Amino acid sequence: MATKGVQTHLTPEEYITLERKAIPDAETVRSEYVNGEIINMPGASFAHNLITSNILSELHTRLKGSPCAVFANDMRISIPTAKCYFYPDVGVVCDAPRFEDDVFDSLLNPIVIVEVLSPSTEAYDRGEKFAHYRQLTSLQEYVLVSQDQIRVDHYRRQEKLWIFTDIEKHDEILHLPSIQCELPLQDIYQRVTFPD
């Protein structure tokens, strides 16, 4: 489960300093930051990692030659209006990426964010985290992928509204119009087995 860290309040600057010091240390738990509080992120299951890798590789292949780039879960997203920092499982940025500073490790303008759901973080990803992500004016699509069953929840920005679509069949396709890309669910869930 995502848990709050020991210290209860840090400034964004203090958090960034701690995160940048922690990156080389493989034993340090990666953490996200929400308005002064550090949230420790748990490790991921095999299915979670496999789904993340599938999505990353499929998007990378499909976006070759486009102005878009795919990034994985070590790219931090900064949301200055909410004083938040998150590490999405997969994301896409198009055209020139914008960063918070000249260290180039806190991205400001993702167009697509994908989170693979874990039992301990699902409510957080669907609720508070999505509320913060919606403050990114660049964000056009938010995708939540279940690791326990075939199910993808797709949210697409349409002016001030977010349009929801759920996809639950192995032969269906996730359409990502903001990046002109389609991902068949059979590719997202390739080699993933589910509990009985």
Q: Where are the beta strands (DSSP E) in 11-83?
A: 31-34, 37-40, 68-72, 76-79
Tokens describing residue 62: 């499909």
Q: pLDDT by residue for the chain (196 residues), tens digit each?
A: 354 444 458 899 888 888 888 755 544 567 889 988 988 877 789 999 999 999 999 999 999 999 999 999 889 999 999 999 999 999 999 989 999 999 999 999 999 999 999 988 899 999 999 999 999 999 999 999 999 999 999 999 999 999 999 999 999 999 999 999 999 999 999 999 987 7
3-state SS string for 100-127: CCCCCCEECCCCEEEEECCCCCHHHHHC
Q: What are the structural domain ranges in the chain?
A: 44-188
**Global confidence as pTM:** 0.89
Which residues make Cβ contacts (< 8 Å) with residue 67, sequence separation at least 6? 94, 95
* Distance of alpha carbon 53 from alpha carbon 29, whole angstroms: 20
CATH of domain 44-188: 3.90.1570.10
